[in-house]
Structure 1
Amino acid sequence: MSEEVSPSPALQSSSDTSLDTNPAQRTNPAKTPIQILHEYGTKSGNLPVYVMEKAEGEAHQPSFVFSVKMADVTCTGQGPSKKAAKHQAAEAALKILNIDAGEVNVPVKSESNGVAVETNNHPNSVGVLQELALQRGWRLPEYTVLKESGPPHKREFTVTCRMESLTEKAVGNSKKAAKKAAAEKMVEKLQSLSGCSEITWSPQPSVRFENLRNSQAEKITLLRRNPLSIPNTDYIQMMLELAKEQGFEVTYFDIDELTVNGQYQCLAELSTSPLTVCHGTGISCSNAHNDAAHSALQYIKIMASIK
């Protein structure tokens, strides 16, 4: 079911407003349509999913179109900002579902692109990330304990949070505290990449090796033709340029443990399909990164040259 939204009550004349005001908003004016719809979705087990359908117009006068889908109801909304368009879509869904906010007995939460965030100063970021992954069809966040240190009475844990191609690391006095801190940093990163508190960032699709084999772009062509044995080459920069050209991302993970001969270690992970992970060592962290980038470039060169 799909329906275009009617003009917002705020845009109607005063004589019409008293007749067309959303009953849900009258019952609880402190809640927005997005919040009300999300609470209803939480209660019914069908969370609303928002998708940006269109963005057009000039920079000084943009226009956005968002759709919201919940169970078998789908509505669209249009506005001068992403939030306004989402509010219009949610408002249209509320009218179709005939939802009264007074019937929704779920604790009030604010929203972030359909993902609930508690209104206090300590949001449940672990839950936010999990809900976000489920709504968007992403892989669930992965938490890894990288390091445990300190005496028994004062332990310190280092935990990484990985979500799609992004990684954040945090420290806490327990595994749970470190996990929560890492999740909070991940939410902040997602908001930063989205440019606002509403999480609109989307991961780049995985690049298949078949695409690399068929590509005739400049960087991948040079990689096929030229040797990778030139001294003092900045392989990190070379990898960065190749990744940008081919549309995949590179993440470096430092390994705390040194090699048997005292060198630093790291892993370079490429968001290809299948995932590529290469190991590197060096007399410093930057040298280890450069070595890992060199190994990854060698692997890509081989895979991109197979006929």
Structure 2
Amino acid sequence: MSEDGCQAAPNRNPINTSMNVNQPQKPVHTKTPIQILHEFGIKTGNLPVYTMEKAEGEAHQPSFIFNVKIEDVCCSGHGSSKKAAKHRAAEGALSLLQINMGSAACPAIKAESNGVAGEPNDHPNSVGILQELALQRGWRLPEYSVLMEAGPPHRREFTVTCRMESLSETAAGNSKKAGKKAAADKMIAKLQSLSGCGEITWTPKPSIRLEELRTSTAEKISLLRRSPLSIPNTDYIQMMSELAAEQNFEVAYFNIDELTVNGQYQCLVELSTVPVTVCHGTGISCGNAQNDAAHSALQYVKVMASIN
């Protein structure tokens, strides 16, 4: 095998027709063992976890051993680079899981192993994936909340928010379960986007606890403590953005489609503090509603930051 692990392992069991030995030789392995195992983990809700067991050898001839664990399978791989060792570990796991590296339908194996019908391959268990990811990384578990319900009884639509660490994503579905899954799908896509690849490597920023604001002497929080929040035409959105940048938390605005009984627009603002802060705002336009929501959040943070 080449060092990057892209070639298939030699076939040690020519009688086993599942290995596709009778097919014409052609470059069918367009994905590496790591990629195939990761896709298996995505579809089954159990992402593989790699750990380096040993690094030894001289600088010009290093040697690495990596372990991979997925479901109840553990495998080790040895190589002259970390990448090669991970590829060999993934290759061993694929072999134990009886996954053909040229097969696209391999994740169906898990459904048969426990006698329970699995989800179709194009509908991965994103809710389970997020929960497993949080447990593996030591993150707070994902939180889901229904922002709103709309539509007639026979065509209800549920808008659900998924929160994970400092991130949040919102999606809609024709049931709470469908909305929850759609939000989880978007969260996984965001994590992959922030990682820059299919393998999630994103690391959350430390979240600010509300009680920590009481002892902060930074410029923006000090200005908030002594400033009245009743000056007309103030850009509270900008004020909140500057405070968030200083105190290291995220701000997200969610426009609500349904108008108030008075015909005004509605908006929710969410701060990724610990605990999470959510405030409501209304206005004659979406922009006004967002500004009002930011104003409400600033008032709340001011109170929390001023308590002795």
TM-score, length-normalised on structure 1?
0.64
Output the CA distance in 1 between the equivalents of 2:142 and 2:178.
Answer: 19
Q: Partner of 1:160: helix, strand, or coil?
A: strand
Greater strand share, 1 or 2? 1
Q: Contact 1:206/1:271 (CA < 8 Å) preserved in 2?
A: yes
Q: Partner of 1:170: helix, strand, or coil?
A: strand
Q: Contact 1:23/1:100 (CA < 8 Å) preserved in 2?
A: no
Q: Contact 2:77/2:86 (CA < 8 Å) preserved in 1?
A: yes
1:144 aligns with 2:146: yes
Q: How does 1:17-28 map to 2 (within 5 A)?
A: 25-27=9-11
Output the CA distance in 1 between the equivalents of 2:78 and 2:224.
Answer: 46
Output the CA distance in 1 between the equivalents of 2:162 and 2:273.
Answer: 16
Tell me which residue corresponds to 2:23.
Answer: none
Deviations 1:15-64 (A, max 9, x none): xxxxxx9998335794744357669999xx98643589xxxxxxxxxxxx
Tell me which residue corresponds to 1:17.
Answer: none
Tell me which residue corresponds to 1:273.
Answer: 274
Tell me which residue corresponds to 2:86.
Answer: 90
| Residue identity opposite 1:140 in structure 2 | P
Structure 2 segments unaligned to the other structure (5+ residues): 12-18, 20-27, 53-63, 100-104, 108-118
* Count of residue pairs brought into register by the alignment: 258
Deviations 1:56-105 (A, max 9, x none): xxxxxxxxx9x8664999999997xxxxx5x445247569xxx4643323
1:10 aligns with 2:2: yes
Q: Contact 2:6/2:32 (CA < 8 Å) preserved in 1?
A: no
1:304 aligns with 2:305: yes
Q: Could you say if the C-alpha distance between residues 129 and 240 of structure 1 is closer, same or farther in structure 2, counting changes exceeding 3 Å? A: same
Output the CA distance in 2 between the equivalents of 1:124 and 1:235.
Answer: 39
Tell me which residue corresponds to 1:34.
Answer: 34
Q: Could you say if the C-alpha distance between residues 304 and 10 of structure 1 is closer, same or farther in structure 2, counting changes exceeding 3 Å? A: same
1:160 aligns with 2:152: no
| Residue identity opposite 1:26 in structure 2 | P
The range that moved more, 129-138 or 290-299, is 129-138
| Residue identity opposite 2:159 in structure 1 | V
Output the CA distance in 2 between the equivalents of 1:159 and 1:93.
Answer: 41
Q: Contact 1:68/1:76 (CA < 8 Å) preserved in 2?
A: no
Structure 1 segments unaligned to the other structure (5+ residues): 1-8, 13-20, 53-64, 80-84, 110-117
TM-score, length-normalised on structure 2?
0.64
Q: Partner of 2:185: helix, strand, or coil?
A: helix
Q: CA deviation at 1:293?
A: 1.0
Q: CA deviation at 1:207?
A: 0.5
The range that moved more, 136-145 or 206-215, is 136-145
Output the CA distance in 2 between the equivalents of 1:242 and 1:25.
Answer: 55
1:185 aligns with 2:186: yes
Output the CA distance in 2 between the equivalents of 1:187 and 1:166.
Answer: 11
Output the CA distance in 1 between the equivalents of 2:290 and 2:41.
Answer: 45
Q: Contact 2:3/2:84 (CA < 8 Å) preserved in 1?
A: no
Q: Could you say if the C-alpha distance between residues 69 and 141 of structure 1 is closer, same or farther in structure 2, counting changes exceeding 3 Å? A: farther
Q: CA deviation at 1:241?
A: 0.9
Tell me which residue corresponds to 1:227.
Answer: 228
1:263 aligns with 2:259: no
Q: How does 1:111-260 map to 2 (within 5 A)?
A: 123-138=124-139, 139-142=141-144, 144=146, 146-150=148-152, 152=154, 155-164=155-164, 165-173=166-174, 177-260=178-261
Q: Partner of 1:184: helix, strand, or coil?
A: helix
Q: Could you say if the C-alpha distance between residues 23 and 239 of structure 1 is closer, same or farther in structure 2, counting changes exceeding 3 Å? A: closer
Output the CA distance in 1 between the equivalents of 2:256 and 2:170.
Answer: 13
| Residue identity opposite 1:224 in structure 2 | R
Q: Could you say if the C-alpha distance between residues 207 and 88 of structure 1 is closer, same or farther in structure 2, counting changes exceeding 3 Å? A: farther
Q: Could you say if the C-alpha distance between residues 295 and 77 of structure 1 is closer, same or farther in structure 2, counting changes exceeding 3 Å? A: farther
| Identity score, percent | 60
Q: Contact 2:3/2:80 (CA < 8 Å) preserved in 1?
A: no
Q: CA deviation at 1:145?
A: 6.7
- Out of 94, 103, 112, the position equivalent to 2:96 is 103
Q: CA deviation at 1:123?
A: 4.6
Output the CA distance in 1 between the equivalents of 2:93 and 2:67.
Answer: 18
Deviations 1:206-245 (A, max 9, x none): 2013432222222112212322222111101110111011
Output the CA distance in 2 between the equivalents of 1:22 and 1:249.
Answer: 40
Q: Contact 2:220/2:246 (CA < 8 Å) preserved in 1?
A: yes
Q: Could you say if the C-alpha distance between residues 36 and 290 of structure 1 is closer, same or farther in structure 2, counting changes exceeding 3 Å? A: closer
